[in-house]
Every structure is written in structure tokens, then in C-alpha cells.
Amino acid sequence: MVALPNISTVNYTKIKGTTNQLGSRGTQADYQQFTVSKNGEFNFKINETNTAVKIVDQNNKVVADFSSNTESASAAAKLGPGTYTAVISQKMKGVNNRAYSLEVTPRENPVITAGGGMIKGTARKLEGNDPGVQKHGLNVVQGGEFSVNLSMPNARWAIMDKDNKVVASGDTMSKASTTEDILKKPSAKLKPGQYNVVIVQDSKVERDTPFSLQLVPKVEGLAAPAEQERPIDKTLRERDARLKQWAAAGSSTTTNKNPNKLTLAYA
């Protein structure tokens, strides 16, 4: 008996097969089972065109349903512990014994605080019609302005709010964008809430390459240090202060209303 893949214990699962059975819609289909050992959110992606995918739980409830046309397609689903079935079927009749690959990866959704946070992922060699799009999330619990640093070169990223409105975006297409100071990189002003992140990886990646999308709090630059006083300036300043002090003390003890007036004495 072949053990079912546990998608909770790995960062990447590729389920391969052939649509060689009759599906419920009269087209060719295949059925693959996998297990989940702990609560989590996962991305499912099919790279073949004109292919439909359903993820069904042990109660025969559909938890994810998506299909591709001329490009790959994907969907995300929150899954609890249990056994699930992936139903992969052709959208067109007459297409028989067609190979497919269903990719499953964890969907990152880190908590972002005032101290920032990080999404970790892996770029892989693209196959078929895969455009290299990865989708993740951000759970912002403390808002603020953050500099965004993507460690992968030749890639693009975007952060979208719950209405899929882009609130920040950037790329690493130029060498300067990967070497400049992090506080000079594109920034995002995020309020508390849930956000979606789209990362389009480098299309020329040949092997598994880890990357990170880092959010760093953007703070005002420190004030420039005061200019150091020269010794001569310090001496003159202190002498001037002493003269003023002596002058003030002398004027307060003078009793002669006209100190310049001379009094002559005659013998």
C-alpha cells in the first residue's frame, strides 16, 4: 500500500498522474488522495491547460474549485487535519490519457507587527504554461510604513488589500534595486488587516532557490550630530561669558551715580 503524501510536512508537493478514468461530467478524470496533519493554508496550482481541479474533504465537501484555460490556474484553501481527494478532470471531451501535475505549497501568511515581518518562499524551475506566480498573505496586526525588500533578482511583487486594490508594488529587475539601502526601497503603508501578496519569480530559475520578502519598519533618519566646537572657539566663548559676568557684577555694586566725575581737594 502506497502511503498518502502529507502536505503539512513538506514545503512542496507535486502530485502527478494521468486522466484515464471517466469523470462525473463525462470527461476523463483522475483521483488523488493526500493527507493534512495540522491546520494550515495551501496553494494548489495546475500547469496544464483546459483542466479542472476540485479539492474535496472526507465529508465530500468541495473546499477548492478552479480550472485553467490557456494558462496555469491556482487556488488557495484552508485545511484542517484529515484526508482529502483531488479530482483532476479534462474540460473537453475526447481528451484521454493526458498527463498532469498538481503542485501544492504552503501559503505563507505571517503576522506583521510594528517590528515588521517576512514571507519565505522557494522559486522553482517553471514547467509548461506556468507564469511563475506565487500568492501569499500578510496578517497585519500593527500598521505602519514598511520598506519592502525582495531578495530574489529579476522578480516583481505587489501587495493588495482585501478588495484586491494594489497598495504597493516593486521589482528587482535592475541590479541597483538589489544592492541599494533597504530604507530607499519601495515602501508600503499598511493598516491593520489582511492583505494578499503576489510574487512573480524569475522565469530563468533552473533549480530550487529560496527567497524572502522582508518588511522593515521605515523610520526617520537620525538627526546629524552637532558640529564639534573648535578649541579656540571654546576659549573665546568662555572668556566672553566671564567678561559679561564681571560686568554684571560690577554694575550691581557701584554706588557712585557718576563714576567718571573727579573730586578735587585743595590744600
Q: Please tell me whether residue 37 adopts helix, strand or coil conformation.
A: coil
Residues 6+ positions from 118 with CB-CB distance below 8 Å: 110, 212, 213, 214, 215
Q: So what's the pLDDT on residue 229?
A: 61
What pLDDT is stored for residue 262 in this prediction?
A: 42
Q: Answer whether 7-107 and 108-220 agree in fold.
A: yes
Q: What is the pLDDT of residue 221?
A: 44
Other CB atoms within 10 A of residue 50 CB: 14
Could you please state the CATH topology (level 3) that the domain comprising 108-220 is classified under: Jelly Rolls (2.60.120)
Q: What SS3 state is found at 178? A: helix
Amino acid found at 1: M
pTM, rounded to two decimals? 0.72
Residue 105: closest CA among 92, 94, 120: 120
Pairing of strands 111-112, 133-140: parallel
- Angle (CA) 57-7-3 rounded to 5° is 85
* CATH code linked to domain 7-107: 2.60.120.380
Q: For 34-43, write each residue's pLDDT tens digit.
A: 999 999 999 9
Distance CA 151, CA 170 (A): 12
Distance CA 62, CA 85 (A): 9
Tell me if 146 sits within 8 A of 188, measured CB to CB.
yes
Pairing state of beta strands 133-140 and 40-46?
A: unpaired
CA distance 119 to 144: 17
Ordered by start, the domain boundaries in the chain are: 7-107, 108-220
pLDDT of residue 103: 94
Run of H or E including 56 = strand 51-56
DSSP code of residue 2: P
Instruction: Give per-residue pLDDT as tens, 56-72.
Output: 999 999 999 999 998 88
Query: Which pLDDT score is estimated for 225?
Result: 41
pLDDT tens track of the chain, all 267 residues?
567 899 999 989 999 999 999 888 889 999 999 999 999 999 999 989 999 999 999 999 999 999 999 888 999 999 999 999 999 999 998 888 999 999 999 999 999 999 999 999 999 998 877 889 999 999 999 999 999 999 999 999 999 999 999 999 999 998 777 666 777 789 999 999 999 999 999 999 999 999 999 999 987 543 334 455 667 667 767 777 777 776 777 655 544 445 444 444 444
pLDDT score at 253: 52
